[in-house]
Amino acid sequence: HEAETHRTDLMTITRYVLNEQSRHPESRGDFTILLSHIVLGCKFVCSAVSKAGLAKLIGLAGETNVQGEEQKKLDVLSNEVFVKALISSGRTCILVSEEGEEATFVDPSLRGKYCVVFDPLDGSSNIDCGVSIGTIFGVYMVKDKDNVTLDEVLQPGKNMLAAGYCMYGSSCTLVLSTGSGVNGFTLDPSLGEFILTHPDIKIPKKGKIYSVNEGNAKNWDGPTTKYVEKCKYPKDGASPKSLRYIGSMVADVHRTLLYGGIFLYPADKKSPNGKLRVLYEVFPMSFLMEQAGGQAFTGKQRALDLVPYEDTSEVAHLSWQL
């Protein structure tokens, strides 16, 4: 049957978001435009990452090219591409990137109503060995774009309008939530389009996997140590859980979303607030987790209730409960 071998009705990410938008008659397509610029950034990074192994040969980020010129590192390059794409969308007013020391305030002539917080290339320790890495982003909306201050992005994660990540792995997958569930889109390289492949993602109710950097165990607190011990030596006769840890948050979270289980980066004696950054790591991922039916906690409270401080290096202990 032809329809089974060749899908002929392709739900692209743009078509999907336009459909969603048509349910809000007041919407004027601004989010669709913003998203198409985020998607452009993701496609660029995907292409650059897939060529990274050839860096020495063709002269890519972080290496010296054939002309002997030092190339920009992949994370710096990715950041520049995202910043330029977001500004040129004409729909943003503040950008906060993991790569930038300070927030970028968009020139009034190009200003729009969205604030975007993002980590353009997360999982830096995995870049040079070809392991999955990703981009993480979250979107806030301002009330008055002509009068913006940093306070617009120093809001709890529950005020985000949308969040997502793109994973550069065996395939390039973009997972997005605009506040009504979570959907996954996979890049078809021959079309250059993200196609809906994972509609309405829900995290499995039970999972057999825990995901944590156990190398930090000597610095953990009592409850964390006890929890992980229980994963390995369950008292109730259940089978022990499996450990999977990539060290790329996007990949570890993606697996957790699809297979279930728990991912955690607990606080420890060395980093009393944990390692992950609230604004562009914890919030977007917690937003997606909740939208997929899961939970995200700091150990003390719901992660999305945290209020970030002006210091954008603010971090939090994060865990997703089973």
CA atoms of 176 and 201, how far apart (whole Å): 10
Nearer to ligand AHM, 134 or 207 (CB): 134
Select from ligand AHM, Mg ion, none the partner in contact with residue 113, using the beta carbon and a kind-dependent cut-off of 5 to 8 Å. none
Binding flag, residue 225, ligand AHM (CB under 6 A): no
Binding flag, residue 255, ligand AHM (CB under 6 A): no
Q: What are the backbone dihedrals phi and psi of residue 210, each rounded to the nearest 5 degrees, phi first?
A: -115, 150
Contacts (CB under 5 A) with Mg ion, residues 242-281: none
Select from Mg ion, ligand AHM, none the partner in contact with residue 275, using the beta carbon and a kind-dependent cut-off of 5 to 8 Å. ligand AHM
Binding flag, residue 122, Mg ion (CB under 5 A): yes
Instruction: Pick from 74, 115, 117, 119 the residue near Mg ion by CB under 5 A.
Output: 119
Nearer to ligand AHM, 31 or 287 (CB): 287
Cα–Cα distance list, 239 to 118, 205, 244, 305 (Å):
38, 17, 16, 34
**Taking the CB of residue 63, how many other CB atoms lie within 10 A of it?**
17
Instruction: Pick from 41, 123, 260, 266 the residue near ligand AHM by CB under 6 A.
Output: 123
Nearer to ligand AHM, 97 or 248 (CB): 248
Contacts of 188 (CB under 8 A, 6+ apart): 194, 195
Strand partners, 302: 297
Select from Mg ion, ligand AHM, none the partner in contact with residue 248, using the beta carbon and a kind-dependent cut-off of 5 to 8 Å. ligand AHM
The one-letter amino acid code at 249 reads: M
Nearer to Mg ion, 122 or 193 (CB): 122
CA atoms of 203 and 151, how far apart (whole Å): 33
What is residue 238's DSSP assignment? Answer: P
Binding flag, residue 149, ligand AHM (CB under 6 A): no
Instruction: Report whether 291 contacts 177 (CB < 8 A).
Output: yes
CA atoms of 205 and 322, how far apart (whole Å): 7
Q: Which stretch binds ligand AHM (CB under 6 A): 119-127, 151-159, 198-206, 309-317?
A: 119-127
Contacts (CB under 5 A) with Mg ion, residues 35-94: none
- Unique residue bearing structure tokens 């306070």: 151
Nearer to ligand AHM, 52 or 141 (CB): 52
In the complex, minimum distance from the CB of residue 263 to ligand AHM, in angstroms, rounded to a whole number:
8
SS (H, E, C) 93-137: EEEEECCCCCCEECCHHHEEEEEEEEEEEECHHHHHHCCCEEEEE
Binding flag, residue 116, ligand AHM (CB under 6 A): no
CA atoms of 126 and 120, how far apart (whole Å): 14
Binding flag, residue 62, ligand AHM (CB under 6 A): no
Question: Per-residue contact track with ligand AHM, 74 to 103, x per CB under 6 A?
Answer: ------------------------x-----
Instruction: Pick from 47, 213, 225, 273 the residue near ligand AHM by CB under 6 A.
Output: 213
Q: Which stretch binds Mg ion (CB under 5 A): 120-128, 158-166, 171-179, 180-188?
A: 120-128
Contacts of 206 (CB under 8 A, 6+ apart): 260, 322
Binding site for ligand AHM (CB under 6 A): 98, 122-125, 213, 247-249, 252, 265, 275
Binding site for Mg ion (CB under 5 A): 119, 122
